[in-house]
Chains A and B, each alone.
Chain A
Amino acid sequence: MKVWVLAELTPNGPTQATLELLSKARQLGDAEAVALGPGATSAAAELGTHGAATVFASDDAVYADYLAQPAAHALGVLAAAHSPDLILFPSTYGARDVAGRLQAKLGSTLMANALDITGPDTVRTEIGGGTLLIDVVLEGPTPRLVIVSPKVFVAEAVGGTAQVVPVDVEIPDGCRRALRTERHDEPSVGPKLEEAKVVVSGGRGLQDPANVSLLQQLADAIGGAAVGATRAIVDAGWISYSHQVGQTGKTVKPDVYIAIGVSGALQHLVGMKGSKFVIAINKDADAPIFRVADLGVVGDALVVVPALISELAKRRG
Protein backbone atom coordinates (compact mmCIF):
# COMPACT_ATOMS: atom_id res chain seq x y z
CA MET A 1 0.00 0.00 0.00
CA LYS A 2 1.05 3.57 -0.61
CA VAL A 3 1.36 5.67 2.54
CA TRP A 4 1.91 9.41 2.43
CA VAL A 5 3.19 11.64 5.18
CA LEU A 6 2.46 15.36 5.18
CA ALA A 7 5.84 16.79 6.10
CA GLU A 8 6.03 19.79 8.36
CA LEU A 9 8.95 22.06 7.71
CA THR A 10 11.09 24.31 9.88
CA PRO A 11 14.02 26.44 8.72
CA ASN A 12 16.21 23.54 9.95
CA GLY A 13 14.46 20.79 8.03
CA PRO A 14 11.48 18.52 8.66
CA THR A 15 10.05 18.32 12.19
CA GLN A 16 10.76 15.35 14.44
CA ALA A 17 7.07 14.35 14.27
CA THR A 18 7.33 14.12 10.48
CA LEU A 19 10.28 11.74 10.73
CA GLU A 20 8.41 9.64 13.31
CA LEU A 21 5.52 9.17 10.89
CA LEU A 22 7.89 8.09 8.12
CA SER A 23 9.05 5.19 10.33
CA LYS A 24 5.49 3.87 10.47
CA ALA A 25 4.75 4.64 6.82
CA ARG A 26 7.79 2.62 5.79
CA GLN A 27 6.64 -0.29 7.92
CA LEU A 28 3.15 -0.22 6.36
CA GLY A 29 4.21 -0.07 2.73
CA ASP A 30 5.64 2.37 0.23
CA ALA A 31 6.41 5.56 2.11
CA GLU A 32 6.20 8.89 0.31
CA ALA A 33 6.22 12.43 1.68
CA VAL A 34 4.56 15.63 0.59
CA ALA A 35 6.49 18.77 1.54
CA LEU A 36 4.91 22.14 0.79
CA GLY A 37 6.42 25.55 1.45
CA PRO A 38 9.82 27.20 1.73
CA GLY A 39 12.52 24.63 2.52
CA ALA A 40 10.62 21.70 0.99
CA THR A 41 13.20 20.71 -1.61
CA SER A 42 16.10 20.94 0.79
CA ALA A 43 14.16 18.85 3.35
CA ALA A 44 13.85 16.02 0.83
CA ALA A 45 17.26 14.56 1.65
CA GLU A 46 16.41 14.05 5.32
CA LEU A 47 12.96 12.74 4.44
CA GLY A 48 14.68 10.26 2.14
CA THR A 49 17.11 9.16 4.82
CA HIS A 50 14.12 8.41 7.04
CA GLY A 51 12.42 6.26 4.48
CA ALA A 52 10.53 8.39 1.95
CA ALA A 53 11.17 6.91 -1.49
CA THR A 54 9.52 9.89 -3.15
CA VAL A 55 9.10 13.46 -1.96
CA PHE A 56 6.53 15.65 -3.68
CA ALA A 57 7.98 19.08 -3.03
CA SER A 58 7.18 22.72 -3.67
CA ASP A 59 9.10 25.65 -2.21
CA ASP A 60 6.30 28.07 -3.11
CA ALA A 61 5.73 30.66 -0.34
CA VAL A 62 1.97 30.47 -0.96
CA TYR A 63 1.85 27.44 1.36
CA ALA A 64 3.33 29.40 4.24
CA ASP A 65 1.63 32.70 3.52
CA TYR A 66 -1.97 31.46 3.40
CA LEU A 67 -3.52 29.22 6.05
CA ALA A 68 -4.50 25.62 5.25
CA GLN A 69 -6.32 26.17 1.94
CA PRO A 70 -3.37 26.03 -0.53
CA ALA A 71 -1.90 22.93 1.12
CA ALA A 72 -5.26 21.16 1.24
CA HIS A 73 -5.89 22.05 -2.39
CA ALA A 74 -2.49 20.78 -3.56
CA LEU A 75 -2.78 17.63 -1.49
CA GLY A 76 -6.22 16.97 -2.98
CA VAL A 77 -4.88 17.34 -6.51
CA LEU A 78 -1.84 15.17 -5.79
CA ALA A 79 -3.95 12.48 -4.13
CA ALA A 80 -6.26 12.32 -7.15
CA ALA A 81 -3.24 11.87 -9.44
CA HIS A 82 -1.25 9.37 -7.37
CA SER A 83 -3.90 7.51 -5.32
CA PRO A 84 -2.30 7.01 -1.91
CA ASP A 85 -4.15 4.60 0.40
CA LEU A 86 -3.39 6.45 3.58
CA ILE A 87 -2.16 9.94 4.48
CA LEU A 88 -0.55 10.49 7.88
CA PHE A 89 -0.51 13.94 9.48
CA PRO A 90 1.45 15.10 12.54
CA SER A 91 -0.73 16.38 15.36
CA THR A 92 0.00 20.09 14.99
CA TYR A 93 -2.16 23.16 14.46
CA GLY A 94 -1.24 23.52 10.81
CA ALA A 95 -1.43 19.87 9.78
CA ARG A 96 -4.71 19.37 11.63
CA ASP A 97 -6.24 22.22 9.64
CA VAL A 98 -5.08 20.75 6.34
CA ALA A 99 -6.43 17.31 7.30
CA GLY A 100 -9.86 18.74 8.16
CA ARG A 101 -10.16 20.55 4.86
CA LEU A 102 -8.88 17.59 2.89
CA GLN A 103 -11.45 15.33 4.51
CA ALA A 104 -14.25 17.53 3.22
CA LYS A 105 -12.74 17.64 -0.28
CA LEU A 106 -12.30 13.89 -0.57
CA GLY A 107 -15.20 12.60 1.52
CA SER A 108 -12.65 10.44 3.30
CA THR A 109 -12.70 9.19 6.82
CA LEU A 110 -10.43 10.95 9.31
CA MET A 111 -9.06 9.62 12.56
CA ALA A 112 -7.33 11.93 15.03
CA ASN A 113 -5.15 11.21 18.06
CA ALA A 114 -3.96 7.91 16.60
CA LEU A 115 -1.59 5.89 18.77
CA ASP A 116 -0.89 3.20 16.23
CA ILE A 117 -1.81 2.10 12.75
CA THR A 118 -2.34 -1.59 13.21
CA GLY A 119 -3.13 -2.55 9.63
CA PRO A 120 -4.01 -1.15 6.21
CA ASP A 121 -7.36 0.09 7.47
CA THR A 122 -7.19 -0.22 11.24
CA VAL A 123 -6.13 2.45 13.68
CA ARG A 124 -5.80 2.45 17.43
CA THR A 125 -6.71 5.60 19.28
CA GLU A 126 -7.75 6.60 22.75
CA ILE A 127 -10.61 8.47 24.30
CA GLY A 128 -11.37 9.74 27.74
CA GLY A 129 -7.93 11.25 28.15
CA GLY A 130 -6.34 7.87 27.57
CA THR A 131 -8.60 5.76 29.77
CA LEU A 132 -10.00 3.70 26.88
CA LEU A 133 -8.14 2.33 23.89
CA ILE A 134 -10.30 2.11 20.81
CA ASP A 135 -9.61 0.05 17.70
CA VAL A 136 -11.24 1.61 14.68
CA VAL A 137 -11.81 0.21 11.20
CA LEU A 138 -11.53 2.90 8.53
CA GLU A 139 -14.07 2.61 5.73
CA GLY A 140 -15.16 4.57 2.70
CA PRO A 141 -13.08 6.11 -0.07
CA THR A 142 -9.28 6.25 -0.01
CA PRO A 143 -7.06 7.91 0.92
CA ARG A 144 -7.96 7.55 4.57
CA LEU A 145 -6.62 10.35 6.76
CA VAL A 146 -4.97 9.76 10.11
CA ILE A 147 -3.61 12.40 12.49
CA VAL A 148 -1.01 10.75 14.69
CA SER A 149 -0.13 11.75 18.25
CA PRO A 150 3.48 12.80 18.82
CA LYS A 151 6.11 10.34 20.00
CA VAL A 152 4.19 7.13 19.37
CA PHE A 153 6.69 6.05 16.71
CA VAL A 154 10.46 6.37 16.81
CA ALA A 155 12.20 8.34 14.07
CA GLU A 156 14.90 6.27 12.48
CA ALA A 157 17.39 7.12 9.75
CA VAL A 158 17.60 4.13 7.42
CA GLY A 159 19.71 5.76 4.76
CA GLY A 160 17.65 6.05 1.62
CA THR A 161 17.55 8.66 -1.08
CA ALA A 162 14.27 10.24 -2.07
CA GLN A 163 13.32 10.94 -5.61
CA VAL A 164 12.14 14.56 -5.63
CA VAL A 165 9.02 15.22 -7.69
CA PRO A 166 8.37 18.96 -8.07
CA VAL A 167 4.79 19.92 -7.27
CA ASP A 168 3.32 22.22 -9.86
CA VAL A 169 -0.27 22.64 -8.74
CA GLU A 170 -2.00 25.88 -9.66
CA ILE A 171 -3.32 27.51 -6.47
CA PRO A 172 -6.56 29.30 -7.30
CA ASP A 173 -7.36 32.76 -5.91
CA GLY A 174 -10.12 31.21 -3.81
CA CYS A 175 -7.42 29.47 -1.77
CA ARG A 176 -5.47 32.69 -1.22
CA ARG A 177 -7.68 34.30 1.38
CA ALA A 178 -6.54 33.89 5.00
CA LEU A 179 -3.18 35.67 4.83
CA ARG A 180 -0.48 35.65 7.49
CA THR A 181 0.69 39.25 7.72
CA GLU A 182 2.91 39.05 10.81
CA ARG A 183 4.78 36.36 12.72
CA HIS A 184 5.78 36.74 16.35
CA ASP A 185 8.10 34.15 17.82
CA GLU A 186 8.51 33.81 21.55
CA PRO A 187 11.74 31.91 22.21
CA SER A 188 11.50 29.15 24.80
CA VAL A 189 13.68 29.22 27.89
CA GLY A 190 14.84 26.66 30.45
CA PRO A 191 15.37 22.91 30.17
CA LYS A 192 13.48 21.06 27.45
CA LEU A 193 10.09 19.86 28.65
CA GLU A 194 10.39 16.52 26.87
CA GLU A 195 13.74 15.72 28.44
CA ALA A 196 13.37 16.95 32.03
CA LYS A 197 13.13 14.41 34.85
CA VAL A 198 10.67 16.62 36.67
CA VAL A 199 7.97 18.79 35.12
CA VAL A 200 6.25 21.46 37.21
CA SER A 201 3.00 22.41 35.46
CA GLY A 202 0.50 25.12 36.28
CA GLY A 203 -3.12 25.74 35.39
CA ARG A 204 -5.97 28.12 36.08
CA GLY A 205 -5.76 27.31 39.78
CA LEU A 206 -2.78 29.68 39.94
CA GLN A 207 -5.49 32.34 39.80
CA ASP A 208 -3.36 35.19 38.51
CA PRO A 209 -0.62 35.54 35.86
CA ALA A 210 1.66 36.96 38.56
CA ASN A 211 1.64 33.57 40.31
CA VAL A 212 3.09 31.77 37.28
CA SER A 213 6.54 32.68 38.63
CA LEU A 214 5.90 30.13 41.43
CA LEU A 215 6.33 27.37 38.83
CA GLN A 216 9.86 28.47 37.96
CA GLN A 217 10.70 28.99 41.62
CA LEU A 218 9.62 25.43 42.43
CA ALA A 219 11.44 24.09 39.36
CA ASP A 220 14.61 25.84 40.55
CA ALA A 221 14.16 24.57 44.11
CA ILE A 222 13.91 21.00 42.81
CA GLY A 223 16.79 21.64 40.43
CA GLY A 224 16.73 21.21 36.65
CA ALA A 225 12.97 20.81 36.45
CA ALA A 226 11.09 22.13 33.42
CA VAL A 227 8.00 24.32 33.57
CA GLY A 228 4.82 23.12 31.89
CA ALA A 229 1.38 24.64 31.52
CA THR A 230 -2.20 23.83 30.61
CA ARG A 231 -3.74 25.11 27.43
CA ALA A 232 -6.00 27.34 29.52
CA ILE A 233 -3.18 29.50 30.84
CA VAL A 234 -1.29 29.45 27.55
CA ASP A 235 -4.43 30.61 25.75
CA ALA A 236 -4.93 33.26 28.42
CA GLY A 237 -1.45 34.58 27.65
CA TRP A 238 0.03 33.87 31.11
CA ILE A 239 2.90 31.81 29.67
CA SER A 240 4.17 31.06 26.18
CA TYR A 241 3.00 28.15 24.07
CA SER A 242 6.36 26.39 24.27
CA HIS A 243 5.38 25.32 27.82
CA GLN A 244 2.07 23.74 26.84
CA VAL A 245 1.52 20.11 27.76
CA GLY A 246 -1.33 18.18 26.18
CA GLN A 247 -3.07 17.23 23.00
CA THR A 248 -1.97 20.32 21.07
CA GLY A 249 1.16 20.84 23.11
CA LYS A 250 3.99 18.61 24.19
CA THR A 251 3.84 15.02 25.37
CA VAL A 252 5.98 14.48 28.46
CA LYS A 253 6.96 11.36 30.37
CA PRO A 254 9.04 12.58 33.33
CA ASP A 255 9.86 10.68 36.52
CA VAL A 256 7.73 13.17 38.44
CA TYR A 257 4.98 15.43 37.15
CA ILE A 258 3.73 18.09 39.54
CA ALA A 259 0.36 19.52 38.52
CA ILE A 260 -0.39 22.79 40.29
CA GLY A 261 -3.89 24.19 39.99
CA VAL A 262 -4.45 21.91 37.02
CA SER A 263 -8.01 20.57 36.75
CA GLY A 264 -7.11 17.69 34.44
CA ALA A 265 -8.97 18.32 31.18
CA LEU A 266 -8.78 15.28 28.90
CA GLN A 267 -6.67 17.14 26.35
CA HIS A 268 -4.14 17.87 29.11
CA LEU A 269 -4.10 14.32 30.50
CA VAL A 270 -3.13 12.83 27.14
CA GLY A 271 0.08 14.85 27.25
CA MET A 272 1.25 13.74 30.70
CA LYS A 273 -0.31 10.38 31.49
CA GLY A 274 2.97 8.61 30.75
CA SER A 275 4.56 10.29 33.80
CA LYS A 276 5.93 7.81 36.33
CA PHE A 277 4.74 9.64 39.46
CA VAL A 278 2.11 12.37 39.50
CA ILE A 279 1.68 14.89 42.29
CA ALA A 280 -1.42 17.07 42.05
CA ILE A 281 -2.24 20.14 44.11
CA ASN A 282 -5.72 21.52 43.62
CA LYS A 283 -8.40 23.22 45.71
CA ASP A 284 -11.20 21.23 44.11
CA ALA A 285 -11.35 17.72 45.57
CA ASP A 286 -13.40 16.60 42.55
CA ALA A 287 -10.85 17.74 39.97
CA PRO A 288 -10.21 14.91 37.48
CA ILE A 289 -6.44 15.35 37.89
CA PHE A 290 -6.75 13.48 41.21
CA ARG A 291 -7.83 10.36 39.32
CA VAL A 292 -4.35 10.07 37.80
CA ALA A 293 -2.43 11.36 40.82
CA ASP A 294 -0.17 9.15 42.92
CA LEU A 295 -0.12 11.85 45.56
CA GLY A 296 -2.98 14.33 45.57
CA VAL A 297 -3.15 17.37 47.82
CA VAL A 298 -6.49 19.10 48.23
CA GLY A 299 -5.56 22.64 49.08
CA ASP A 300 -4.61 26.08 47.87
CA ALA A 301 -1.61 25.92 45.54
CA LEU A 302 -0.67 29.45 46.56
CA VAL A 303 -0.15 28.19 50.13
CA VAL A 304 1.20 24.70 49.44
CA VAL A 305 3.77 25.63 46.78
CA PRO A 306 5.60 28.37 48.74
CA ALA A 307 5.70 26.00 51.75
CA LEU A 308 7.18 23.29 49.52
CA ILE A 309 9.79 25.70 48.14
CA SER A 310 10.94 26.56 51.69
CA GLU A 311 10.90 22.88 52.71
CA LEU A 312 13.17 22.02 49.76
CA ALA A 313 15.50 24.93 50.59
CA LYS A 314 15.63 23.70 54.20
CA ARG A 315 16.53 20.14 53.12
CA ARG A 316 19.27 21.44 50.87
CA GLY A 317 20.65 23.20 53.92
Chain B
Amino acid sequence: MNVVVLVKSVVDPSGQPRLGPDFLMDRSGDGTLDPGDEFAVEAALQLAADAGGTVTAISMGPEGAAAAVRRALAMGADAGVLVSDPLLRGADTLATARVLAAAAAQAGFDLVLAGVESADGYTGTLPMALAELLDVPSATFARKIEVTNGLARIERQTETGYDVVECPLPAVITVTAGATEPRYPTLKGIMSAKAKPLEQRSVADLGLEPSAVAPTQRVSAVTPVTTKSGGTVIEAGDDTAARIADALAEAKVI
Protein backbone atom coordinates (compact mmCIF):
# COMPACT_ATOMS: atom_id res chain seq x y z
CA MET B 1 0.00 0.00 0.00
CA ASN B 2 1.53 3.28 -1.10
CA VAL B 3 0.80 6.23 1.12
CA VAL B 4 1.19 9.89 0.27
CA VAL B 5 1.40 12.18 3.26
CA LEU B 6 0.90 15.91 2.87
CA VAL B 7 3.31 17.96 4.94
CA LYS B 8 3.28 21.69 5.47
CA SER B 9 6.20 23.83 6.40
CA VAL B 10 5.38 26.53 8.93
CA VAL B 11 7.68 29.34 9.92
CA ASP B 12 6.71 29.41 13.58
CA PRO B 13 3.81 27.17 14.54
CA SER B 14 2.76 29.33 17.46
CA GLY B 15 4.12 32.74 16.60
CA GLN B 16 2.91 35.91 15.06
CA PRO B 17 2.62 35.53 11.28
CA ARG B 18 4.93 37.81 9.33
CA LEU B 19 3.31 39.71 6.49
CA GLY B 20 5.22 41.41 3.72
CA PRO B 21 4.36 44.90 2.43
CA ASP B 22 2.10 43.24 -0.16
CA PHE B 23 0.08 41.64 2.69
CA LEU B 24 1.26 38.18 1.67
CA MET B 25 2.58 35.80 4.29
CA ASP B 26 6.34 36.00 4.51
CA ARG B 27 7.46 32.37 4.42
CA SER B 28 11.15 33.04 3.82
CA GLY B 29 13.74 31.28 5.93
CA ASP B 30 13.78 27.68 7.07
CA GLY B 31 10.43 26.25 8.03
CA THR B 32 9.64 23.36 10.31
CA LEU B 33 7.17 20.52 9.87
CA ASP B 34 3.75 21.60 11.08
CA PRO B 35 3.32 19.77 14.42
CA GLY B 36 -0.16 18.60 13.35
CA ASP B 37 1.34 16.89 10.31
CA GLU B 38 3.70 14.78 12.42
CA PHE B 39 0.70 12.66 13.41
CA ALA B 40 -0.16 12.07 9.77
CA VAL B 41 3.45 11.12 8.98
CA GLU B 42 3.48 8.67 11.89
CA ALA B 43 0.17 7.11 10.81
CA ALA B 44 1.47 6.84 7.24
CA LEU B 45 4.65 5.08 8.38
CA GLN B 46 2.71 2.60 10.52
CA LEU B 47 0.12 1.79 7.87
CA ALA B 48 2.73 1.36 5.13
CA ALA B 49 4.86 -0.82 7.40
CA ASP B 50 1.88 -3.05 8.29
CA ALA B 51 0.67 -3.52 4.75
CA GLY B 52 4.02 -3.27 2.96
CA GLY B 53 4.49 -0.20 0.80
CA THR B 54 6.13 3.16 0.57
CA VAL B 55 5.50 6.58 2.06
CA THR B 56 5.96 9.70 -0.05
CA ALA B 57 5.90 13.09 1.70
CA ILE B 58 4.64 15.93 -0.50
CA SER B 59 4.81 19.63 0.26
CA MET B 60 4.29 22.92 -1.50
CA GLY B 61 6.20 26.00 -0.50
CA PRO B 62 9.36 28.03 -1.02
CA GLU B 63 12.75 26.32 -0.87
CA GLY B 64 12.86 26.61 2.92
CA ALA B 65 9.85 24.28 3.01
CA ALA B 66 12.21 21.43 2.11
CA ALA B 67 12.94 21.25 5.85
CA ALA B 68 9.43 19.89 6.47
CA VAL B 69 9.89 17.18 3.83
CA ARG B 70 13.33 16.33 5.20
CA ARG B 71 11.84 15.90 8.66
CA ALA B 72 9.30 13.42 7.26
CA LEU B 73 12.15 11.59 5.50
CA ALA B 74 14.12 11.51 8.75
CA MET B 75 11.10 10.01 10.50
CA GLY B 76 11.13 7.24 7.90
CA ALA B 77 9.31 8.33 4.74
CA ASP B 78 10.84 6.81 1.61
CA ALA B 79 10.70 9.74 -0.79
CA GLY B 80 9.83 13.42 -0.84
CA VAL B 81 8.44 15.89 -3.34
CA LEU B 82 8.56 19.66 -2.94
CA VAL B 83 6.53 21.76 -5.34
CA SER B 84 8.18 25.14 -5.44
CA ASP B 85 7.42 27.82 -7.96
CA PRO B 86 7.37 31.64 -7.92
CA LEU B 87 3.86 31.33 -9.41
CA LEU B 88 2.68 29.90 -6.09
CA ARG B 89 3.53 32.87 -3.91
CA GLY B 90 0.30 33.85 -2.19
CA ALA B 91 -1.43 30.68 -3.40
CA ASP B 92 -4.87 30.19 -1.85
CA THR B 93 -6.49 26.93 -0.79
CA LEU B 94 -7.83 26.20 -4.29
CA ALA B 95 -4.44 26.60 -5.97
CA THR B 96 -2.77 24.59 -3.22
CA ALA B 97 -5.31 21.77 -3.55
CA ARG B 98 -4.79 21.65 -7.33
CA VAL B 99 -1.01 21.53 -6.95
CA LEU B 100 -1.00 18.88 -4.24
CA ALA B 101 -3.63 16.78 -6.05
CA ALA B 102 -1.51 16.82 -9.20
CA ALA B 103 1.61 15.90 -7.23
CA ALA B 104 -0.19 13.08 -5.39
CA ALA B 105 -1.58 11.71 -8.66
CA GLN B 106 1.90 11.84 -10.19
CA ALA B 107 3.40 9.97 -7.21
CA GLY B 108 0.60 7.37 -7.21
CA PHE B 109 -1.21 6.41 -4.02
CA ASP B 110 -3.62 4.06 -2.32
CA LEU B 111 -4.07 6.46 0.56
CA VAL B 112 -3.41 10.17 1.11
CA LEU B 113 -3.01 11.25 4.74
CA ALA B 114 -2.88 14.80 6.10
CA GLY B 115 -3.24 16.65 9.39
CA VAL B 116 -6.71 18.03 10.12
CA GLU B 117 -5.67 21.66 9.74
CA SER B 118 -2.47 23.66 9.64
CA ALA B 119 -1.11 25.34 12.76
CA ASP B 120 -0.73 28.71 11.05
CA GLY B 121 -3.77 28.97 8.78
CA TYR B 122 -6.20 26.51 10.44
CA THR B 123 -8.52 26.55 7.42
CA GLY B 124 -8.99 22.78 7.41
CA THR B 125 -10.62 22.44 4.00
CA LEU B 126 -7.64 21.62 1.80
CA PRO B 127 -7.69 17.81 2.15
CA MET B 128 -11.36 17.71 1.11
CA ALA B 129 -10.76 19.90 -1.94
CA LEU B 130 -7.91 17.56 -2.83
CA ALA B 131 -10.13 14.47 -2.41
CA GLU B 132 -12.72 16.02 -4.71
CA LEU B 133 -10.10 16.81 -7.36
CA LEU B 134 -8.77 13.26 -7.14
CA ASP B 135 -12.34 11.89 -7.17
CA VAL B 136 -11.80 9.68 -4.15
CA PRO B 137 -13.77 9.29 -0.91
CA SER B 138 -12.55 10.91 2.26
CA ALA B 139 -12.87 11.12 6.01
CA THR B 140 -11.65 13.86 8.33
CA PHE B 141 -10.66 13.77 12.01
CA ALA B 142 -9.61 10.12 12.10
CA ARG B 143 -8.35 9.07 15.50
CA LYS B 144 -7.84 5.46 14.44
CA ILE B 145 -7.34 3.88 11.01
CA GLU B 146 -7.22 0.18 10.15
CA VAL B 147 -6.90 -1.05 6.58
CA THR B 148 -8.07 -4.53 5.61
CA ASN B 149 -8.42 -5.74 2.02
CA GLY B 150 -8.59 -2.27 0.55
CA LEU B 151 -11.17 -1.01 3.04
CA ALA B 152 -10.27 1.56 5.69
CA ARG B 153 -12.13 1.40 8.99
CA ILE B 154 -11.90 4.77 10.68
CA GLU B 155 -12.87 6.08 14.08
CA ARG B 156 -13.82 9.64 13.33
CA GLN B 157 -14.00 12.27 16.04
CA THR B 158 -17.34 14.11 16.03
CA GLU B 159 -18.85 16.98 17.99
CA THR B 160 -20.71 14.53 20.22
CA GLY B 161 -18.41 11.52 20.40
CA TYR B 162 -17.14 9.45 17.51
CA ASP B 163 -18.40 7.65 14.43
CA VAL B 164 -17.10 4.53 12.78
CA VAL B 165 -16.68 5.10 9.05
CA GLU B 166 -15.88 2.52 6.38
CA CYS B 167 -14.20 3.87 3.32
CA PRO B 168 -12.82 2.00 0.31
CA LEU B 169 -9.32 2.91 -0.89
CA PRO B 170 -8.00 4.91 -2.60
CA ALA B 171 -9.04 7.66 -0.20
CA VAL B 172 -7.98 10.85 1.56
CA ILE B 173 -8.02 10.77 5.37
CA THR B 174 -7.07 13.49 7.86
CA VAL B 175 -5.54 12.40 11.13
CA THR B 176 -6.01 13.96 14.57
CA ALA B 177 -3.37 14.33 17.22
CA GLY B 178 -4.91 11.40 19.08
CA ALA B 179 -4.25 8.87 16.35
CA THR B 180 -0.60 8.18 17.06
CA GLU B 181 2.40 9.31 19.02
CA PRO B 182 4.87 10.65 16.43
CA ARG B 183 8.31 9.10 16.59
CA TYR B 184 11.33 11.31 17.04
CA PRO B 185 13.81 11.02 14.17
CA THR B 186 16.89 9.04 15.18
CA LEU B 187 20.39 10.14 14.20
CA LYS B 188 20.44 7.21 11.78
CA GLY B 189 17.13 8.41 10.34
CA ILE B 190 18.46 11.93 9.89
CA MET B 191 21.62 10.65 8.20
CA SER B 192 19.81 8.25 5.87
CA ALA B 193 17.27 10.95 4.96
CA LYS B 194 20.06 12.77 3.16
CA ALA B 195 20.38 9.89 0.71
CA LYS B 196 16.65 9.66 0.03
CA PRO B 197 15.15 11.23 -3.09
CA LEU B 198 13.69 14.73 -2.60
CA GLU B 199 12.42 15.88 -5.97
CA GLN B 200 11.61 19.49 -6.77
CA ARG B 201 8.72 20.19 -9.11
CA SER B 202 7.37 23.33 -10.73
CA VAL B 203 3.77 24.08 -11.66
CA ALA B 204 4.61 23.22 -15.28
CA ASP B 205 6.15 19.88 -14.21
CA LEU B 206 2.74 18.96 -12.79
CA GLY B 207 1.01 19.77 -16.07
CA LEU B 208 -0.88 22.74 -14.59
CA GLU B 209 -1.45 26.04 -16.38
CA PRO B 210 -0.47 29.22 -14.50
CA SER B 211 -4.16 30.23 -14.57
CA ALA B 212 -5.02 27.16 -12.47
CA VAL B 213 -2.97 28.50 -9.58
CA ALA B 214 -3.91 32.18 -9.83
CA PRO B 215 -5.21 33.51 -6.51
CA THR B 216 -8.99 33.93 -6.10
CA GLN B 217 -8.76 36.32 -3.19
CA ARG B 218 -6.72 39.35 -2.24
CA VAL B 219 -5.98 40.99 1.08
CA SER B 220 -7.03 44.63 1.05
CA ALA B 221 -6.19 45.63 4.60
CA VAL B 222 -4.45 44.32 7.71
CA THR B 223 -5.27 45.64 11.16
CA PRO B 224 -3.28 44.53 14.18
CA VAL B 225 -5.52 43.74 17.11
CA THR B 226 -4.38 45.51 20.22
CA THR B 227 -3.21 42.66 22.35
CA LYS B 228 -3.46 42.68 26.08
CA SER B 229 -0.64 44.50 27.76
CA GLY B 230 0.31 44.70 31.38
CA GLY B 231 0.00 40.96 31.93
CA THR B 232 2.08 39.72 34.85
CA VAL B 233 4.14 36.57 34.61
CA ILE B 234 5.51 35.11 37.85
CA GLU B 235 7.58 32.08 38.75
CA ALA B 236 5.63 29.57 40.83
CA GLY B 237 6.47 29.84 44.51
CA ASP B 238 4.98 29.54 47.96
CA ASP B 239 2.53 32.42 47.52
CA THR B 240 1.34 31.45 44.01
CA ALA B 241 -1.93 29.87 45.13
CA ALA B 242 -2.75 32.98 47.17
CA ARG B 243 -1.93 35.26 44.21
CA ILE B 244 -4.27 33.32 41.93
CA ALA B 245 -7.01 33.23 44.58
CA ASP B 246 -6.64 37.01 44.99
CA ALA B 247 -7.07 37.45 41.24
CA LEU B 248 -10.22 35.29 41.31
CA ALA B 249 -11.56 37.35 44.22
CA GLU B 250 -10.79 40.59 42.37
CA ALA B 251 -12.70 39.28 39.34
CA LYS B 252 -15.57 38.54 41.75
CA VAL B 253 -15.89 34.90 40.75
CA ILE B 254 -15.23 33.49 44.25
Which A residues contact B (CB, under 8 angstroms)? 67-69, 72, 92-93, 96-105, 107-113, 122, 126-128, 130-140, 147, 174, 177-186, 197-198, 222-223, 225, 231-232, 234-237, 240-242, 247-248, 255-256, 263-267, 270, 276-279, 281, 285, 288, 290-300, 303-304, 307-308, 310-312, 315
Inter-subunit contact B254/A312 (CB<8 Å) = yes
User: Whole-angstrom distance between the alpha carbons of A255 and B250 in the complex?
Assistant: 11
User: Whole-angstrom distance between the alpha carbons of A288 and B7 in the complex?
Assistant: 23
Q: Can you list 12 A-B contacts with CB-CB less than 8 angstroms, sorted by A residue number?
A: A93-B158, A110-B92, A111-B217, A128-B15, A134-B222, A136-B219, A137-B220, A186-B161, A222-B253, A247-B122, A288-B15, A295-B243
**Residues of chain B with a CB closer than 8 A to A248's CB:** 116-117, 124
Inter-subunit contact B161/A183 (CB<8 Å) = yes
Query: Which listed segment binds A: B49-57, B66-74, B227-235?
Result: B227-235
User: Whole-angstrom distance between the alpha carbons of A127 and B24 in the complex?
Assistant: 12
- Category for how many chain B residues contact A: 35 or more
**Residues of chain B with a CB closer than 8 A to A179's CB:** 165-167
B window 135-159: CB within 8 A of A: 135, 137-141, 143, 156-159
Contact of A231 among B94, B167, B177, B215 (CB under 8 A): B177
**Residues of chain A with a CB closer than 8 A to B178's CB:** 234-237
Inter-subunit contact B232/A295 (CB<8 Å) = yes
Min distance, Cβ A229 to any Cβ of chain B, angstroms? 12
Inter-subunit contact A100/B127 (CB<8 Å) = yes
User: Whole-angstrom distance between the alpha carbons of A235 and B36 in the complex?
Assistant: 11
Per DSSP, are chain A's interface residues mostly helix, strand or loop, or mixed?
mixed
Is B187 interfacial (CB-CB < 8 Å)? no
Is B242 interfacial (CB-CB < 8 Å)? yes
Inter-subunit contact A311/B245 (CB<8 Å) = yes
**Residues of chain A with a CB closer than 8 A to B176's CB:** 231, 235
Is B195 interfacial (CB-CB < 8 Å)? no
